[in-house]
Amino acid sequence: MTFLGTGGSVPNKFRNLPSVLVRRGPELLLFDCGEGTQRQFLYARAGINRKMRILISHMHGDHVFGLPGMLHSLSLMGRTRELEIIGPKGVIGLVTSVNRVVRLYNRYPIRVREVKPGQVVKDEEYAIHVAAAQHGIPCLAYSFQENPKPGRFDTAQARKLGVPEGPLWKVLQSGKPVKIGKRRVIPRLVLGHPRRGVKLTYAVDTRPCSSVIKLAAGSDLLIHDSCFAESAASKAREYGHSTASEAARVAKRSKSRLLALFHISAMYEDASPLLTEARRVFHRTILPRDMETVSVVA
């Protein structure tokens, strides 16, 4: 995944507005679309015509003003495939009104869905769970979770059981039994325990809250609002954001494996004090720069 923009509210010289790109095989997920995202997206060379979903957390400008430009650029660059946009109430109105007034995009279909906390968006190999963040206006946190993967295939054991290498191995790997003469070989005999998939949680523009802790439980990576240092804790409370150490406490309580500090206020040219503060609470914390790429494995 690539952090396209890691700042919040207004951009500065170092940080663009929030957007996180997840590449999963040939598929793309984009969390939020702050202004300027299309440029970062093109730099990231993510591909124009892939299966793609954009997930919007809430209807504050710094998270959605990049959407018209993004949709427009994708069309000009030759996208023909359907694009899905998921977000809270208001996202349909935004896309349709921009399209009505500016007539941006007519080369590919756009499907927009409004979702609520508690909903689950299911795909073949993963699910995206939606929960409420705590931010003054309705704000959604998302957790992307891959389905468990089949266990490792024991080739020696398959041979021992008389299953010849070839298409029958594939059948067993897909979880179906095969017949060898009159004998049936069931997958359990040649497959290890199912392996859990990756879990990635995106919770920005939020106070630390129990619904996010619950959503994030056991995440391989938690991307959490970390707008301010502890010295500006009152600002965080006032504007519905979190300090770095509050984000770290959420990571700790949700038993996440790695925390990425995100949505850094433009007032910090050097945000390293935020990292120091967070690491005092939760050591496995990173402070990604714009365009930094991180591999997430289960």
Which residues would be at the binding site for Zn ion (CB under 5 A)?
Answer: 8, 60, 62, 205
CB of 31 to Zn ion, least distance (A): 12
CB of 18 to Zn ion, least distance (A): 6
Please say which residue, 35 or 205, places its beta carbon nearer to Zn ion.
205
Count of Cβ atoms closer than 10 Å to residue 105 Cβ: 21
Secondary structure (3-state) at 189: helix
Please say which residue, 62 or 246, places its beta carbon nearer to Zn ion.
62
Terminal Cα distance for the chain, rounded: 14
Residue 84 buriedness (CB in 10 A; 0-12 / 13-18 / 19+): middle
C-alpha–C-alpha distance, residues 48 and 56, integer Å: 19
CB of 139 to Zn ion, least distance (A): 7
**Element housing 233 (H / E):** helix 233-239
> Which residue in the list 32, 62, 220, 290 is annotated as catalytic?
62
Distance set, CA 82 to CA 19, 50, 79, 107, 274 (Å): 20, 9, 8, 9, 40
CB of 8 to Zn ion, least distance (A): 5
The yes-or-no answer on residue 62 being catalytic is: yes
Catalytic residues: 62
